[in-house]
Amino acid sequence: MRDKNIFAIRRGLPRMSWTPQNLYNLWRRSCTPFKEEAVFTQSSKTLFQQRWIAKRLTRAYHGDFINEKIFKRWYLPSTLPDVRPRKRDDDDVNLWKWVGQDSKVSKEVRNREEDEKLALAPVASLMYEEVERRIDVFIFRCCFAHSVYEARRLVIHGRVLLNGKKHQNANTRLAPGDMVSVDPKAIRFLQAPPPTPSKEENSEEESQPEGEATKDTKVESKSAPPPSLLHPGLTPFNLPPFAAPFIFIPAYIEVSFETCSAILVRRPTARYNYSEIPSPYDADGEIMRLSWEWYSRVRPRIRGSGEKRGRICPDVRTETRKIPGVERPKKLPAPSVIEGRSLRAQILRNSVGL
């Protein structure tokens, strides 16, 4: 089974989840010798192995439930934004040098260096922009679900509204301005926890016969009120353990926790030393760059409709047009050829206009 034991400690792959096992795997990938597997500065692995390991790590977090073929076909962008600095004209600098204003020359050179530095944004992480627009990933980023798998279950079970209408397709990608609402009754940490009797009470009840009760148990029952009476009229809020590192809202999402709804304000972007796509790996580090190199080499080549079976379309083609009052032919007739001239010569003659 592909999704069995996704939090395996032996593999140590971080996922989109709040579970303590996932937090432990994230800690191992960042602070223990286990992180040396993804450090390629001094590695004996080949370039192919480095790219494959980087792809494996990033895809385990960004859409591991998406089939690889579907991801390359529908979610992988064709290119990334070009943030390389463009060469400027040196006319102003040469003029100031000729005039003798060295202070303006040094100031202009400094400003250009700062502009070039600020233009270098970590764009490698933008390869997963389309994954972040999925409705199940969007719900997880809004902190309405413990994991992206639970968010997917909420969508499929009809607990999510998209722009006020019930939506059950978890593969939908949102557009800027779309509003997603989640049923508060389906959010687990907004429900009161079930009463769980302690082990000492269970052992005491088993040791004592029915109908007998000591004074100590009566005093404890009077002093401890039921959980429903502790905060009457308030919505219960019970976060799972070790959930603090995962509770944050990206900048491109506007969330209203009072109504359990959120709006996708815009697409995620990147600027100098900052990327809006959350990831356990450096937005412009080795892992992200090698992942992009892997997909840039294995991406599917999509051909146009006119390039099927080579450059030249075959003569035998099926007719798909529907003309009223005309019987639909099964096949188009073969092109006519003038005597003494080949088909290629006629095409060249018509294109030149002779």
DSSP 177-218: T-EEEE-GGG-GGGSPPPP---HHHHHHHHHSPTT---HHHH
> What three-state secondary structure class fits 94?
helix
Whether 297 has a pLDDT exceeding 80, the answer reads yes
Mean pLDDT of 26-30: 89
Helices (H), the chain: 20-31, 47-61, 68-70, 91-99, 102-119, 129-132, 135-141, 148-156, 199-207, 215-223, 286-298, 343-352
Higher confidence at residue 265 or residue 203?
265
Mean pLDDT of 168-188: 93
Exposure of 277 by Cβ count < 10 A (0-12 exposed, 13-18 middle, 19+ buried)? buried
The pLDDT value recorded for residue 122 is: 86
Query: What is the DSSP pairing of strand 253-256 with strand 261-264?
Result: antiparallel
Whether 135 has a pLDDT exceeding 90, the answer reads yes
The pLDDT value recorded for residue 347 is: 57
Distance CA 149, CA 155 (A): 10
- DSSP class of residue 318 equals B
Whether 293 has a pLDDT exceeding 60, the answer reads yes
Whether 339 has a pLDDT exceeding 70, the answer reads no
Distance CA 311, CA 108 (A): 53
Distance CA 167, CA 157 (A): 9
Angle, helices 91-99 vs 102-119, to 10°: value is 160
Whether 59 has a pLDDT exceeding 90, the answer reads yes
Whether 203 has a pLDDT exceeding 80, the answer reads no
Q: What amino acid is encoded at 323 in this protein?
A: I
- What is the band of 316 on the pLDDT scale with cuts at 50, 70, 90? very low
Domain ranges of the chain: 91-119, 135-193+231-266
The pLDDT value recorded for residue 350 is: 57
Whether 47 has a pLDDT exceeding 70, the answer reads yes
The pLDDT value recorded for residue 182 is: 95
What would the pLDDT profile of 240-249 be if each residue is shown by its tens digit?
889 999 999 9
Per the CB < 8 A criterion, the answer to whether 15 and 62 are in contact is no
- What is the band of 323 on the pLDDT scale with cuts at 50, 70, 90? low
Distance CA 169, CA 103 (A): 62
Whether 101 has a pLDDT exceeding 80, the answer reads no
Which CATH code for domain 135-193+231-266?
3.10.290.10
3-7, 21-25, 106-110, 324-328: the lowest-pLDDT one: 324-328
> What three-state secondary structure class fits 28?
helix
104-113, 171-180, 335-344: the lowest-pLDDT one: 335-344
Tokens of 271: 């600027």
Q: What amino acid is encoded at 55 in this protein?
A: K
Query: Which helix H or strand E contains 323, and what residues bound it?
Result: none
The pLDDT value recorded for residue 81 is: 81
The pLDDT value recorded for residue 272 is: 84
Nearest Cα residue to 263 out of 252, 277, 271, 272: 252
Whether 100 has a pLDDT exceeding 70, the answer reads no
Higher confidence at residue 242 or residue 237?
242
This prediction has a pTM of 0.69
105-109, 175-179, 222-226, 346-350: the lowest-pLDDT one: 222-226
Burial profile 164-197: b = 16 or more Cβ within 10 angstroms, e = fewer: eeebeebebbbeeebbbbbeeebbebbeeeeeee
Whether 201 has a pLDDT exceeding 90, the answer reads no
Give the DSSP letter string of 213-230.
--HHHHHHHHHS--GGGT
Tokens of 290: 């090698």
Burial profile 11-38: b = 16 or more Cβ within 10 angstroms, e = fewer: ebbbbbbbbeebbebbeebeeeeeeeeb
The pLDDT value recorded for residue 308 is: 44
